[in-house]
């Protein structure tokens, strides 16, 4: 009987704990419907369609749905939000004369306002999912002259997910390693491609890689005239390097290098 | 009727001089007049009790007029005239027998054939019967009779000016009473100027013109002119401006052939009435080489003269390196998208100098690592190497005063093109309004401390001038072009500027919350051109329109191509035209300047001319005193076909870069152009010389006109006027009126 009571108590306690956990998870994802889709509209008040550009350059983060495999987790598109963007813009202002906005923004590919911002940043794209409509919009955005950077995805599995969805936009266009002599690598700073810029978790665990992404890759997709339109930071996490620029726990040389890449990306995008 | 009433032809009164009195003394006439007036007054006083004063005055007035007319007749006035003595005078009848007179106005008989009966019956025979000595001339020489005119050799060109002066000069020692020119007025001598008219007047011989042919050729289509550069770079698109006309409103197709291949085609709507329109057609330049372009209009179904439906133009396509320097004080999207638009076309070498940080600039597209190493050029030699200069969002204060003066000289002295763009640090916000550069811009820059750059989307639209501008078009078709302009999305930003300067052309305006201000304008300044585009946000056209859409690319390629076109080189070589129709004189000129673009007056300039038969001429060009650095010469080429002209020059010990041009010679073509009767020219020459203009319908009046010629041997005659019928008729009317009035008032 006592045993039965204990088992009953444990069962009720477990149910209670599960409910508490679920509730807390739901509270952490205020838009419950979007939670199941993996997107987060908590930042919709800053959507581009209501705030036209107030500076020449804006840090614009791509909002996307997450892939099935990452359901239930935090929306990957908002990884490092908002510090990465804020620190990024501060770095651009300090290191260049680019007229940059004070605040980062976010946008979905299906929002026409995206065409007012020729520079786009997508993070954690190893978990992204693009609809056909979004893929078409991405293709159009890049072919018109838009420039996009993808960042913070690691290992062969996430590469596979990323590539699968990118192929919806560019079925035949090759993804290549950015050569060392590409203008991107010297447009403002001379950059070293051999250094792997780690995420803070990986760094804290004493390594620079995540999953099986041991070596850094600076890859890209070029247009028909040899201009880079999609820059791919694979097996790296520049977003963390920008986000933790003011964190004593994150190595300063990595942040410094990430800033230099950031400046080069922006200058390149605005000159090529 | 005139002659019935006045006894003599009207011309007598126009040409003659009236002598009012040939009989009696003035005192007698005055005496008679006074007596007559006294009698009238006496008679009126006697009748004052019988008639109302108004009636009395009427009768007295009638009597007074009767008295005056009678007295005038009594004075026996005469008309003094100087009339030609036909038997002592010669008249030349000069008949235009050029190829244009062989054209038909009715599809059956030629102009010459159709005028011959009039010439014979209304002019030659009456003049002969009057006793004049006649000389009938064709443009080929003297002929015996009108029939021989038909067998006279048709001239390739109507050299009316030359033929007239030759005929008048040949008869200078004869009693020439006048010259009758029978022509359609299609003069192709290229010598028609005020000097020629003065020369014609100095002969003192009246030239009467008999105009032949219709003044509007209703069924005819014509390409009057083609405006296209002589040289171009490979794989570019040139805009040719083609002048077209038609007698009636119709639609036709304008085709451009390169050899036998059609490289451009366009449907054109012609307004009719010989009204000229300009069609703009895009010409792909293709590979390096010489393009023998043929512009042709499809002939109309009822058109007799199709020879003027075609014009040719030789285009030399050579790999030159036009260079444009684009300076930006900050990285921005406008730079990126302009660069992409121009780079994709590949017709120009674009050097970019973009300031990326406080102490660093990014040099893009440069030829060598040393180029622009120290930033914006500091010497003429360095800057004048470019044909175009684009200044974007750049503070003027970043440059030295010398560099800013250099920009002005770049336009004024070098003849380059300057385009200033709007931006955060552009135009007035960059402090340019306080520099000498502001003086050369087509738009006035605003003064004051207020920010003029507005980062707000706004609608830009083309002005009427832009829609007429051939180099700034999205389509050859007017409607499509207009649609393309209206479909352009809003620009990302704009900058407030002042009004356009006199002489500037505003091509675009921007509509914003504060009203409308000029957006794109240009003007000539010195040897060059300046442009202002008061925005840094045309990139939005590219990002907002489909990736296949080429509007942004076309706009920027057109603008930059226009900027670099016609920019003089340090060595320029050109001919006065491209297609020498019936003109063997090829006028060539060269402009030689040193690397700083100062005129070089001590160069030796030679031109080697090779015609289609392989005949070679070497010409030494001579300096023109009034135009430092300019050299001119003339080559005479008779053989039809392509003519190659190679210019070489030495300046001191230095051999300058050679320049090659092509021109084309052909004979017998010009007469088929402007075939409508040029009555304006015929009227002018007749008026200047003291003669008159006649049509076939009024040709019979030439004889009367001849009688009072100021030239030739004349005799004086006095014609009595006392007996002119009108005087007697008036007297009769006056007396009958008086009698009838008196009868009515019962006071006979």
Residue-wise pLDDT tens digits, B105-119: 877 888 999 999 999
pLDDT attached to residue B448: 84
- Alpha-carbon distance B231 to B568, whole Å? 13
Answer yes or no: do A114 and A22 share one domain.
no
Tell me phi and psi for residue B79, to 5 degrees: -110, 120
Answer yes or no: do A8 and A133 share one domain.
no
> If 0-12 CB within 10 Å is exposed, 13-18 middle and 19+ buried, where does residue A103 land?
middle
Q: Do A145 and B344 touch (CB under 8 A)?
A: no
Answer yes or no: do A61 and A85 share one domain.
yes
pLDDT attached to residue A71: 59
Check CB contact of B355 with chain A, cutoff 8 Å.
yes
To the nearest whole Å, the CA of A79 is away from the closest chain B CA by: 27
pLDDT above 90 as % of chain B = 53
Cα-Cα-Cα-Cα torsion B390, B395, B399, B405, nearest 10 degrees, comes to 60
Show the domains of chain B with their CATH numbers. Answer: 2-83+717-745 (no CATH), 86-212+676-712 (3.40.50.410), 221-317 (2.60.40.10), 323-564 (3.40.50.880), 571-669 (2.60.40.1930)
Q: Greater confidence, B448 or B453?
A: B453
Nearest to A99 among B424, B540, B545 (CB): B424
Lowest-confidence region among B15-29, B180-194, B434-448: B15-29
Q: Do A188 and B456 touch (CB under 8 A)?
A: no
Q: Do A271 and B337 touch (CB under 8 A)?
A: no
pLDDT attached to residue A44: 40
> If 0-12 CB within 10 Å is exposed, 13-18 middle and 19+ buried, where does residue B65 land?
middle
Check CB contact of B354 with chain A, cutoff 8 Å.
yes
Quick one: closest CA in B to A51, which residue? B456
Check CB contact of B583 with chain A, cutoff 8 Å.
no
Asked if B293 contacts B258 with a C-beta cutoff of 8 angstroms, the reply is: yes
Q: Is the pLDDT reported for residue A17 higher than 60? A: no
Domain count of the fold of chain A: 2
Q: What is the average per-residue pLDDT within B340-347? A: 89
Check CB contact of B220 with chain A, cutoff 8 Å.
no
Answer yes or no: do A12 and A75 share one domain.
no
Q: Is the pLDDT reported for residue A43 higher than 60? A: no
Q: Greater confidence, A19 or B671?
A: B671
Answer yes or no: do A97 and A130 share one domain.
yes
- CB contacts < 8 A (A, B): 88
Q: What is the average per-residue pLDDT within B156-163? A: 79
Q: What is the pLDDT of residues B412-450, one digit of tens each?
A: 999 999 999 999 999 999 999 999 999 999 999 999 877
User: Tokens 């409103």 identify what position?
Assistant: B249
Tell me phi and psi for residue B618, to 5 degrees: -115, 120
Nearest to A270 among B336, B357, B547 (CB): B336
The pLDDT-based confidence of A41 (bands split at 50, 70, 90) is very low
Q: ω before B266 within 30° of 0 (cis)?
A: no
Q: Is the pLDDT reported for residue B365 higher than 80? A: yes
Both tokens of residue B277? 């329109």
Query: What are the chain A neighbours of B543 within 8 Å (beta carbons)?
Result: 115-116, 118, 144-146
To the nearest whole Å, the CA of B454 is away from the closest chain A CA by: 10
Lowest-confidence region among A5-14, A78-87, B33-42, B489-498: A5-14
Quick one: closest CA in A to B334, which residue? A270
Domain of A177, CATH number, reads: 3.40.50.12140
Q: Greater confidence, A68 or B10?
A: B10
Answer yes or no: do A94 and A6 share one domain.
no
A61 DSSP β-pair partners: A106, A121
Tell me the CB-side half-sphere exposure of residue A261, using CA atoms within 13 A.
Answer: 25
pLDDT attached to residue B676: 85
Query: What are the chain A neighbours of B360 within 8 Å (beta carbons)?
Result: 188
Domain annotation covers residue A123: yes
Give the angle B342-B343-B346 at the CA atoms, nearest 5°: 90
How many CB atoms sit inside 10 A of residue A63's CB? Answer: 22
pLDDT attached to residue A33: 32
pLDDT attached to residue A37: 38
Asked if B444 contacts B452 with a C-beta cutoff of 8 angstroms, the reply is: no
Domain annotation covers residue A232: yes
Whats the size of chain A, residue-wise? 272
Answer yes or no: do A13 and A148 share one domain.
no
**Could you tell me which residues come within 8 angstroms of residue B453 by beta carbon, excluding any fewer than 6 positions away?**
B422, B423, B424, B426, B427, B429, B493, B495, B496, B536
Query: What are the chain B neighbours of A188 within 8 Å (beta carbons)?
Result: 356-357, 360, 362
Q: Is the pLDDT reported for residue A16 higher than 60? A: no
Answer yes or no: do A52 and A5 share one domain.
no
Q: Do B332 and A270 touch (CB under 8 A)?
A: yes
- Alpha-carbon distance A5 to A87, whole Å? 56
Specify the DSSP class assigned to residue B123.
I
The pLDDT-based confidence of A209 (bands split at 50, 70, 90) is very high
pLDDT above 70 as % of chain B = 99
Query: What are the chain B neighbours of A187 within 8 Å (beta carbons)?
Result: 356, 362
- Alpha-carbon distance B396 to B585, whole Å? 51
Domain annotation covers residue A267: yes
Q: What is the average per-residue pLDDT within A25-30? A: 40
Q: Residue A22 is part of which domain span?
A: 1-30
Q: What is the pLDDT of residues A144-193, one digit of tens each?
A: 999 999 999 999 999 999 999 999 999 999 999 999 999 999 999 999 99
Check CB contact of B337 with chain A, cutoff 8 Å.
yes
pLDDT attached to residue B159: 80
Distances (CA, A) of B465 to B245, B462, B508, B559, B732: 21, 8, 9, 15, 70
Tell me the CB-side half-sphere exposure of residue B275, using CA atoms within 13 A.
Answer: 9
To the nearest whole Å, the CA of B336 is away from the closest chain A CA by: 4
Query: What are the chain B neighbours of A144 within 8 Å (beta carbons)?
Result: 542-543, 545-547
Query: What are the chain A neighbours of B547 within 8 Å (beta carbons)?
Result: 140, 143-144
B580 DSSP β-pair partners: B665
Query: What are the chain B neighbours of A115 within 8 Å (beta carbons)?
Result: 540, 543-544
Check CB contact of B351 with chain A, cutoff 8 Å.
no
Quick one: closest CA in A to B354, which residue? A271
Q: What is the average per-residue pLDDT within B176-189? A: 88
- Alpha-carbon distance B101 to B138, whole Å? 11
Answer yes or no: do A139 and A181 share one domain.
yes
Nearest to B335 among A116, A143, A271 (CB): A271
B389 DSSP β-pair partners: B325, B418
- Alpha-carbon distance A258 to A237, whole Å? 9
Q: Do A188 and B457 touch (CB under 8 A)?
A: no
Q: Greater confidence, B57 or B497?
A: B497
Q: Is the pLDDT reported for residue A25 higher than 60? A: no
Query: What are the chain B neighbours of A145 within 8 Å (beta carbons)?
Result: 336-337, 340, 539, 542-543
Check CB contact of B302 with chain A, cutoff 8 Å.
no
Lowest-confidence region among A64-78, A247-261, B67-81, B348-362: A64-78
Asked if B651 contacts B598 with a C-beta cutoff of 8 angstroms, the reply is: no
Domain annotation covers residue A36: no
Q: Is the pLDDT reported for residue A221 higher than 50? A: yes
Domain annotation covers residue A35: no
Q: Is the pLDDT reported for residue B179 higher than 70? A: yes
pLDDT attached to residue A5: 52
Q: Do B364 and A271 touch (CB under 8 A)?
A: yes
Q: Do B547 and A143 touch (CB under 8 A)?
A: yes
Instruction: Report which listed range, A11-25, B90-104, B440-454, is most confident.
Output: B440-454
Q: What is the average per-residue pLDDT within B496-505? A: 96
Query: What are the chain A neighbours of B339 within 8 Å (beta carbons)?
Result: 271-272
Q: What is the average per-residue pLDDT within A118-134? A: 95
Nearest to B333 among A54, A225, A270 (CB): A270
pLDDT attached to residue A27: 40
Quick one: closest CA in B to A272, which residue? B336
Query: What are the chain A neighbours of B539 within 8 Å (beta carbons)?
Result: 118, 145
Answer yes or no: do A267 and A136 share one domain.
yes
Answer yes or no: do A26 and A45 share one domain.
no
Q: Do B344 and A225 touch (CB under 8 A)?
A: yes
- Alpha-carbon distance B684 to B679, whole Å? 8
pLDDT attached to residue A32: 31
Asked if B329 contacts B430 with a C-beta cutoff of 8 angstroms, the reply is: yes
Answer yes or no: do A9 and A66 share one domain.
no
Q: H helices within B488-570, ranges in order?
A: 539-544, 551-564
pLDDT attached to residue B528: 97
Q: What is the pLDDT of residues B134-147, one digit of tens each?
A: 899 988 888 888 88
Q: Is the pLDDT reported for residue B508 higher than 60? A: yes
pLDDT attached to residue B217: 82
The pLDDT-based confidence of B590 (bands split at 50, 70, 90) is very high
Instruction: Report which listed range, A21-25, A259-263, B48-52, is most confident.
Output: A259-263
B363-372, Cβ contacts within 8 angstroms, sequence gap of 24 or more:
B364/A271, B364/B339, B365/B339, B372/B325
Tell me phi and psi for residue B386, to 5 degrees: -95, 150
Lowest-confidence region among A227-231, A267-271, B153-157, B237-241: B153-157
pLDDT attached to residue B582: 83
Query: What are the chain A neighbours of B343 within 8 Å (beta carbons)?
Result: 225
The pLDDT-based confidence of A73 (bands split at 50, 70, 90) is low
Q: Mapping DSSP to helix (H, G, I), strand (E, B) and coil, where does residue B538 land?
A: coil
Test mutation, A58, A143, A144, chain B, max B CBs within 10 A: A144
B349 DSSP β-pair partners: B323
- Which has the closest alpha carbon to B266: B485, B565, B487, B481? B481
Nearest to B457 among A52, A56, A146 (CB): A52
Nearest to B331 among A53, A225, A270 (CB): A270
Q: Is the pLDDT reported for residue A213 higher than 60? A: yes
Q: Is the pLDDT reported for residue B80 higher than 80? A: yes
Check CB contact of B343 with chain A, cutoff 8 Å.
yes
Average pLDDT, chain B: 90
The pLDDT-based confidence of A11 (bands split at 50, 70, 90) is low
- Alpha-carbon distance A166 to A130, whole Å? 8
Lowest-confidence region among B390-399, B686-695, B700-709: B700-709
Domain annotation covers residue A86: yes
């Amino acid at each position: 009987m006592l045993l039965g009571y204990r088992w009953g108590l444990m069962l009720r306690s477990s149910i209670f704990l599960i409910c508490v956990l679920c509730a807390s998870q739901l509270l952490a994802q205020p838009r419950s419907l979007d939670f199941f889709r993996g997107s987060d509209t908590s930042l919709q008040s800053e959507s581009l369609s209501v705030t036209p550009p107030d500076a020449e350059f804006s840090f614009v983060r791509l909002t996307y749905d997450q892939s099935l495999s990452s359901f239930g987790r935090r929306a990957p598109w908002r990884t490092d939000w908002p510090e990465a963007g804020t620190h990024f813009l501060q770095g651009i202002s300090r290191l260049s004369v680019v007229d940059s906005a004070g605040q980062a923004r976010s946008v979905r590919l299906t929002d026409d306002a995206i065409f007012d911002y020729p520079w786009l940043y997508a993070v954690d794209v190893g978990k992204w999912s693009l609809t056909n409509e979004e893929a078409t919009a991405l293709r159009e955005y890049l072919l018109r002259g838009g420039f996009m950077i993808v960042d913070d995805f690691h290992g062969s599995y996430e590469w596979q997910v990323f590539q699968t969805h990118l192929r919806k936009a560019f079925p035949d266009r090759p993804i290549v390693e950015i050569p060392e002599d590409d203008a991107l690598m010297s447009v403002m700073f001379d950059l070293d491609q051999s250094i792997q810029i780690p995420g803070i978790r990986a760094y804290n665990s004493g390594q620079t890689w995540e999953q099986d992404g041991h070596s850094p890759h600076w890859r890209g997709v070029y247009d028909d005239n040899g201009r880079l339109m999609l820059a791919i930071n694979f097996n790296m996490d520049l977003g963390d390097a920008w986000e933790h620029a003011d964190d004593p726990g994150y190595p300063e040389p990595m942040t410094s290098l990430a800033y230099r890449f950031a400046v080069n990306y922006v200058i390149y995008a605005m000159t090529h | 009727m005139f002659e019935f009433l006045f006894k003599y032809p009207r011309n007598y009164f126009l040409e003659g001089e009236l002598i009012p009195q040939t009989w009696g003394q003035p005192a007698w006439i005055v005496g008679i007049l006074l007596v007559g007036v006294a009698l009238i007054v006496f008679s009126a006083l006697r009748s004052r009790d019988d008639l109302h004063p108004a009636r009395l005055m009427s009768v007295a007035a009638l009597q007074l007029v009767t008295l005056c007319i009678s007295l005038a007749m009594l004075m026996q006035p005469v008309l003094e005239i100087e009339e030609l003595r036909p038997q002592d005078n010669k008249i030349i009848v000069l008949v235009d027998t050029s190829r244009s007179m062989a054209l038909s106005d009715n599809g059956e008989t030629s102009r010459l054939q159709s005028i011959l009966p009039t010439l014979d019956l209304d002019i030659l025979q009456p003049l002969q019967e009057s006793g004049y000595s006649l000389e009938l001339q064709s443009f080929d020489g003297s002929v015996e009779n009108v029939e021989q005119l038909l067998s006279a050799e048709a001239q390739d060109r109507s050299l009316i000016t030359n033929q007239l002066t030759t005929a008048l000069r040949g008869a200078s020692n004869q009693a020439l009473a006048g010259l009758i020119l029978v022509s359609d007025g299609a003069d192709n001598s290229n010598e028609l100027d005020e000097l020629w008219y003065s020369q014609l007047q100095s002969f003192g011989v009246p030239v009467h013109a008999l105009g032949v042919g219709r003044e509007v050729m209703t069924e005819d289509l014509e390409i009057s002119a083609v405006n296209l550069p002589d040289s171009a770079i490979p794989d570019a698109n040139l805009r040719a401006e083609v002048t077209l006309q038609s007698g009636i409103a119709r639609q036709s197709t304008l085709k451009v052939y390169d050899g036998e291949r059609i490289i451009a085609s366009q449907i054109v709507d012609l307004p009719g009435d010989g009204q000229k329109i300009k069609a703009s057609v895009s010409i792909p330049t293709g590979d390096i080489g010489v393009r023998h372009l043929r512009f042709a209009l499809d002939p109309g179904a009822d058109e007799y003269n199709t020879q003027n439906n075609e014009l040719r133009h030789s285009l030399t396509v050579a790999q030159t390196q036009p260079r444009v320097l684009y300076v930006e004080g900050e990285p921005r999207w406008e730079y990126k998208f302009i660069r992409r638009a121009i780079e994709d076309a590949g017709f120009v070498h674009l050097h970019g100098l973009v300031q990326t940080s406080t102490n660093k600039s990014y040099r893009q597209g440069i030829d060598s690592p040393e180029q622009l190493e120290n930033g914006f050029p500091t010497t003429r030699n360095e800057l004048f190497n470019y044909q175009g200069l684009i200044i974007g969002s750049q503070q003027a204060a970043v440059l030295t005063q010398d560099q800013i003066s250099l920009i002005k000289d770049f336009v004024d002295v070098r003849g380059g093109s300057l385009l200033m763009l709007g931006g955060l640090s552009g135009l007035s916000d960059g402090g340019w309004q306080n520099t000498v550069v502001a003086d050369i811009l087509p738009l006035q820059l605003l003064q004051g401390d207020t920010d003029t750059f507005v980062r707000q989307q706004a609608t830009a639209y083309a002005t009427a001038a832009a829609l007429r501008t051939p180099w700034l078009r999205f389509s050859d078709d007017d409607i499509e072009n207009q649609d393309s302009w209206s479909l352009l999305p809003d620009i990302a930003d704009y900058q407030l500027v002042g009004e356009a300067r006199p002489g500037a052309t505003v091509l675009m305006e921007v509509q914003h919350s504060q009203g409308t201000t000029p957006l794109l304008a240009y003007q000539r300044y010195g040897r060059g051109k300046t442009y202002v585009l008061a925005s840094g946000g045309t990139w939005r056209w590219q990002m907002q329109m489909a990736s296949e859409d080429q509007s942004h690319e076309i706009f920027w390629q057109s603008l930059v191509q226009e900027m670099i076109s016609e920019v003089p080189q340090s060595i320029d070589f050109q001919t006065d035209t491209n297609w020498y129709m019936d003109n063997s004189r090829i006028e060539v000129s060269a402009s030689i300047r040193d690397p700083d673009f100062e005129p070089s007056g001590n160069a030796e300039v030679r031109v080697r001319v090779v015609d289609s038969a392989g005949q070679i001429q070497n010409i030494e060009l001579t300096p023109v005193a009034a135009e430092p650095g300019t050299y001119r010469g003339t080559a005479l080429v008779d053989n039809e076909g392509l003519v190659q002209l190679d210019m070489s020059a030495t300046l001191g010990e230095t051999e300058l870069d050679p320049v090659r041009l092509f021109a084309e010679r052909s004979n017998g073509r010009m007469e088929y152009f402007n075939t409508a009767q040029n009555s304006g020219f015929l009227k002018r020459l007749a008026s200047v010389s003291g003669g008159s203009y006649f049509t076939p319908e009024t040709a019979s009046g030439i004889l009367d006109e001849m009688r009072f010629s100021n030239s030739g041997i004349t005799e004086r005659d006095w014609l009595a006027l006392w007996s002119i019928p009108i005087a007697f008729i008036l007297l009769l009317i006056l007396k009958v009126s008086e009698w009838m009035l008196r009868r009515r008032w019962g006071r006979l």
